[in-house]
A and B are shown apart, each in its own frame.
Chain A
Amino acid sequence: MAQNAVIFRPATIALILFFVATVAFFCVSAPRFATAANMENLLSGYSFVAILAMGQAFPILVRGIDLSIGAVVGFVGMVVFDLTLIFHVPGYMILPLALLVGTLAGVVNGALIVFLKLQPFIATLATLAAYRGLTYSISGRQLRPDLTTTAITDPWIVGIETYFDIGSWLGISKLLPMPWLPLSFVIMLALFAVLQTLVMTTRFGRDLYTVGGNYEAARLAGINAARVIICAYAIAGFCAAVTALIMVARFTTSTEALGTGMELTAIAAAVIGGMSLAGGIGSPFGPAVGAFLLGAVLLGLTLLGVGQFVQQIITGAILLAAVGYDRMLVLRRQRRLTANPADAV
């Protein structure tokens, strides 16, 4: 079993325990936390954050970072807006187009990093500006101001914002009020299953870890490191596109500012989820849990009456604690890996 196996890593177990403890804490101390309505808020409010965080996991795995995924979300959102409201393209064609656009944006990022040899921080900083600019360029809201108040009604798009009354289906709702399951949560689960399988059981997955852990060793072993890196950023772009679709469906419109700042949230969720910025460690599981952990904390604090501003401080503190804990693990790991107790000394 590979040593980066997610369920068995001590850091991941700690994460799960911490998540459970946090939820338990808030269930007990915050009124209305343990209600169906609140659970629904958590699921619907943070599923797309989890998707974005999972996307961010891939560039981080290969020792990079993607600062532009917020801008990609905005860009894809505007593409969807234009296609449906201006060009009246049917929804079942818009969905794949949106995914394609997001993926391509990611490929551009990867290409800049691999072929122009730019540092990921800088390359994605530049594309952040470029994609945000492109969003303004193609903005249907500028071209047709009358559309700013028109809601998107295409069933394929709006249908993403659906809720399933699983309580009734399963017949549980007589015993226990169940939250209605948002489709975005189901999408997240499906995406998680695919990405996790990809990472854990395919050769591409192994290559991701090799490239992230030791680029030179990967190259010398004959791995096409360039292709691996571009694919990692493409996946991030793909996840950004999915996020955009969910958000557009929810708001039934899109703005030029969609997604602003979300890349930092995604990074925070990923780090809280145990990803190491040095690469080679972690899997999509951590960032997904990290996103919901953040969500649980923020919702719980709100229900406890803690002001939004204090929440910001607490979010920062959690991030710091997570990265400090990760550092401790790194030190312990280093000590284990380099000491050779079996040496004849």
Chain B
Amino acid sequence: MAGMPIIRGVGLTKIYGNLVALTDANFAVMPGEVRALIGSNGAGKSTLVKILTGAVAPTLGTVEIAGEAAPLGNPRETIRRGVACIYQHSNLAPAMSVLDNIFLGRQPTRWLGLIDRRRQRREAVALLDRHGIDLDLDATVGSLPAVKQKEVEIMKALALDARAILMDEPTGWLAASEVAKLHATIRMLRARGVGIVYISHVLNEIFSVCDTITIMRDGKIIAESAVADIDRPRVVHLMVGEKLARESAQASHQKRHPRGTGEARLRAHNLTKRGVFKDVSFDLYAGEIFCITGLIGSKRTELVRTLFGSDRFDGGTLEVEGQPATFRSPVGAIARGIGFVPEDRHREGLMLNMSVTENLAMAMLGRFRRGFLLSRGRMVDAGRRAISILSIQPPDGKRPVALLSGGNQQKVLVGKWLNRAPRILILDEPTVGIDVGAKAEIYAILRRERELGAAMLVVSSDLEEVMTLADRIGVMVAGRLAAIHDADTTQMDEIVREIGGVAA
């Protein structure tokens, strides 16, 4: 495994506007090495990978492939030089066939650019055989289940016969048997001298198939080690940082309030949505934080959307404060006192070009109405109060939200709902992509709301967060709510096992 790295990044820095995503990262993968890349959400892993594959150009720094400097921000060149990537979000063309997608952009051609269909099919069949994957080459990709779509992505990367393959959360949708197959493929590639980067937050997988590990936090690489020389607790400790590790250790001794005040604000009974989730039942009490956790793809977001009325369920019943509820749109849910902080704050939560004050007021414009008019004065006052309570930095209500840091943006988003004093607050991945300090602030805000008696439902993939915050923990696996635990009587290992789908 000695010699020249197959792909290397030197001094990589990436700044988006005023968000520093990556600082001075030095990263290298040898031929035949499987290097894990780990860090909590927002640590900078995806950014690093995107720079290495040419998807984005770094603000500073260079990339070398097999010793030669590579052009930055040019996916075509990087692919040509033998670097393939399986990105976290699907990059397939859903309306096209599996065969078309495997050779996307690189179909073998005869003269005049006519696609050589026979050769294409021959190569694809050979590829599938070699790796023992079973795919219908003529199926429309969009109609395949997520698991199969991931396999198409993997085939697409393997078809490139690359020297280096980067995988960003490749097992998100996969069941245990599929993960084993993927790992077998990885071992085979390693034996052939391919360098692999494996991003994952599943420690078991990393310890199973990777040789080395790189740990990132807050946009920096903070540690590297051979997998054999490190253990799980140390990895988590490094990932999460001193402060939060201590806090979460402290928090785990904090008093928990499972079932809060005992008043059930929301009752879900056998909620079902065909093809998405089935028979989900739970109760949500005032004065508690109930965290639902699980793998990506366990359909938690889809579930909470139906609670808020932005989607509909097909079967089961929902009761809010004792009254049955069938919400046709968020308008109805909001009227019943439910608030919802969506997962993607940029795409669904904030109006980026509007000011902090306007965003804070967005869910309660009715309160600033005077007849037909909008009282901007009252809006500004309410905004000022919220900014101060939430410590939004900088404390300037007129600033466009796009210019705030991720953590402060999230505070605005949460603040928008807190302004309404909701009876029930649902948050989907509330601290994704924000720094450790802001995370702690948000936790404090949520705990304060809990003291004030709100019923809170938090969807989170971040186990540390779940263990820190939750009074009760629910585990969702592939669309079913597999278990509900009281936080003070549960160990993290148990949760990890349940999430992985291993029967207790």
Q: How far is the CA of A315 from the CA of B478 in the complex (A)?
A: 50
Instruction: Take A2-B100, A210-B93, A281-B95 as given contacts and tell me if A202 and B115 are in contact as well, using a CB distance cutoff of 8 Å.
Output: yes
Q: How far is the CA of A222 from the CA of B159 in the complex (A)?
A: 14
* Chain A positions within 8 Å of B112 at CB level: 202
* Chain B positions within 8 Å of A3 at CB level: 95-97, 140
* Chain B positions within 8 Å of A213 at CB level: 93-96
Q: How far is the CA of A336 from the CA of B105 in the complex (A)?
A: 25
CB-CB nearest in chain B for A219: B75
A202 touches B113 (CB 8 A): yes
Chain B residues 68 to 105 lying within 8 A of chain A, measured CB to CB, are: 75-76, 78-80, 85, 87, 90-97, 100, 104-105
Chain B residues 132 to 180 lying within 8 A of chain A, measured CB to CB, are: 138, 140, 142-148, 156, 175
> Does A116 interact with chain B (Cβ within 8 Å)?
no
User: Pick the contact of A337 from B79, B143, B275 — CB < 8 Å?
Assistant: B143
> Does A209 interact with chain B (Cβ within 8 Å)?
yes
B97 touches A220 (CB 8 A): no
> Does A175 interact with chain B (Cβ within 8 Å)?
no
* Chain A positions within 8 Å of B96 at CB level: 2-4, 206, 209-210, 213
* Chain B positions within 8 Å of A331 at CB level: none
The 8 A CB mask of A196-231 against B (1 = contact, 0 = none) is 000001111011011001101111111110000000
Q: How far is the CA of A213 from the CA of B104 in the complex (A)?
A: 12
Instruction: Take A3-B140, A340-B146, A343-B145 as given contacts and tell me if A222 and B75 are in contact as well, using a CB distance cutoff of 8 Å.
Output: yes
> Does B317 interact with chain A (Cβ within 8 Å)?
no
Q: How far is the CA of A67 from the CA of B107 in the complex (A)?
A: 33
A277 CB to closest chain B CB, in angstroms? 15
> Does B480 interact with chain A (Cβ within 8 Å)?
yes
Instruction: Take A219-B75, A223-B76 as given contacts and tell me if A345 and B480 are in contact as well, using a CB distance cutoff of 8 Å.
Output: yes
A204 touches B479 (CB 8 A): no
A217 touches B142 (CB 8 A): no
CB-CB nearest in chain A for B297: A343
Chain A residues 215 to 266 lying within 8 A of chain B, measured CB to CB, are: 216-224
* Chain A positions within 8 Å of B104 at CB level: 206, 210, 217-218, 221, 223
Instruction: Take A222-B75, A223-B105, A345-B275 as given contacts and tell me if A209 and B143 are in contact as well, using a CB distance cutoff of 8 Å.
Output: no
User: Pick the contact of A345 from B91, B142, B147, B479 — CB < 8 Å?
Assistant: B479
CB-CB nearest in chain B for A335: B275
* Chain A positions within 8 Å of B128 at CB level: none
Q: How far is the CA of A266 from the CA of B77 in the complex (A)?
A: 38
* Chain B positions within 8 Å of A221 at CB level: 75, 79, 91, 104-106, 156
A203 touches B113 (CB 8 A): yes
User: Pick the contact of B93 from A214, A333, A343 — CB < 8 Å?
Assistant: A214
A337 touches B93 (CB 8 A): no
A343 touches B114 (CB 8 A): no
B187 CB to closest chain A CB, in angstroms? 26
> Does B296 interact with chain A (Cβ within 8 Å)?
no
In this complex, how many residues of chain A approach chain B with their Cβ under 8 Å: the count is 36
Instruction: Take A201-B115, A345-B276 as given contacts and tell me if A340 and B75 are in contact as well, using a CB distance cutoff of 8 Å.
Output: no
Q: How far is the CA of A222 from the CA of B82 in the complex (A)?
A: 12
A203 touches B95 (CB 8 A): no
> Does B277 interact with chain A (Cβ within 8 Å)?
yes
- Summed over the interface, the residue pairs from A and B with CB atoms below 8 Å come to a total of 122
> Does A339 interact with chain B (Cβ within 8 Å)?
yes
> Does A280 interact with chain B (Cβ within 8 Å)?
yes
Instruction: Take A220-B91, A221-B104 as given contacts and tell me if A341 and B275 are in contact as well, using a CB distance cutoff of 8 Å.
Output: yes
Q: How far is the CA of A341 from the CA of B109 in the complex (A)?
A: 35
Q: How far is the CA of A213 from the CA of B143 in the complex (A)?
A: 15
* Chain B positions within 8 Å of A210 at CB level: 93, 96, 104-105
A216 touches B109 (CB 8 A): no
A343 touches B92 (CB 8 A): no
> Does B35 interact with chain A (Cβ within 8 Å)?
no
B97 touches A343 (CB 8 A): no
B145 touches A203 (CB 8 A): no
Q: How far is the CA of A72 from the CA of B75 in the complex (A)?
A: 35
CB-CB nearest in chain A for B274: A339
The 8 A CB mask of A307-345 against B (1 = contact, 0 = none) is 000000000000000000000000001001111111111
B478 CB to closest chain A CB, in angstroms? 5
Instruction: Take A217-B93, A217-B104, A337-B94 as given contacts and tell me if A203 and B275 are in contact as well, using a CB distance cutoff of 8 Å.
Output: no
> Does B416 interact with chain A (Cβ within 8 Å)?
no
> Does A176 interact with chain B (Cβ within 8 Å)?
no
* Chain B positions within 8 Å of A214 at CB level: 91-94
Instruction: Take A202-B114, A210-B93, A213-B93 as given contacts and tell me if A222 and B105 are in contact as well, using a CB distance cutoff of 8 Å.
Output: yes
> Does B245 interact with chain A (Cβ within 8 Å)?
no
B278 touches A202 (CB 8 A): no
A203 touches B115 (CB 8 A): yes
* Chain A positions within 8 Å of B390 at CB level: none
Q: How far is the CA of A2 from the CA of B97 in the complex (A)?
A: 6
Q: How far is the CA of A80 from the CA of B104 in the complex (A)?
A: 42
Q: How far is the CA of A333 from the CA of B147 in the complex (A)?
A: 20
The 8 A CB mask of A98-138 against B (1 = contact, 0 = none) is 00000000000000000000000000000000000000000
* Chain B positions within 8 Å of A204 at CB level: 113
> Does A1 interact with chain B (Cβ within 8 Å)?
yes
B143 touches A336 (CB 8 A): yes
B293 CB to closest chain A CB, in angstroms? 18
Q: How far is the CA of A210 from the CA of B106 in the complex (A)?
A: 12
B502 CB to closest chain A CB, in angstroms? 15
* Chain B positions within 8 Å of A4 at CB level: 95-96
A1 touches B478 (CB 8 A): no
Chain B residues 10 to 32 lying within 8 A of chain A, measured CB to CB, are: none
Which of A202, A203, A220, A338 has the most CB atoms of chain B within a 10 A radius of its CB? A220
B79 CB to closest chain A CB, in angstroms? 4
Which of A206, A223, A281, A333 has the most CB atoms of chain B within a 10 A radius of its CB? A206
CB-CB nearest in chain B for A228: B105
Q: How far is the CA of A199 from the CA of B143 in the complex (A)?
A: 23
Q: How far is the CA of A3 from the CA of B175 in the complex (A)?
A: 29
B94 CB to closest chain A CB, in angstroms? 5
> Does B496 interact with chain A (Cβ within 8 Å)?
no
> Does B55 interact with chain A (Cβ within 8 Å)?
yes
B178 CB to closest chain A CB, in angstroms? 11
CB-CB nearest in chain B for A204: B113
The 8 A CB mask of A3-16 against B (1 = contact, 0 = none) is 11000000000000
CB-CB nearest in chain A for B55: A220
Which of A1, A214, A219, A222 has the most CB atoms of chain B within a 10 A radius of its CB? A222
Q: How far is the CA of A209 from the CA of B105 in the complex (A)?
A: 10
Could you show 23 A-B contacts with beta carbons less than 8 Å apart?
A2-B97, A201-B114, A202-B109, A202-B114, A203-B115, A206-B105, A206-B107, A206-B115, A213-B95, A214-B92, A214-B94, A216-B91, A217-B93, A217-B104, A219-B75, A220-B55, A222-B79, A223-B104, A337-B95, A339-B276, A340-B145, A341-B145, A342-B144
| Sample of 4 more A-B contacts, CB < 8 Å, known A221-B106, A337-B142, A343-B275 | A3-B140, A222-B80, A345-B277, A345-B479
Binding site for A on B (CB under 8 A): 53, 55, 75-76, 78-80, 85, 87, 90-97, 100, 104-107, 109, 112-115, 138, 140, 142-148, 156, 175, 274-278, 478-480
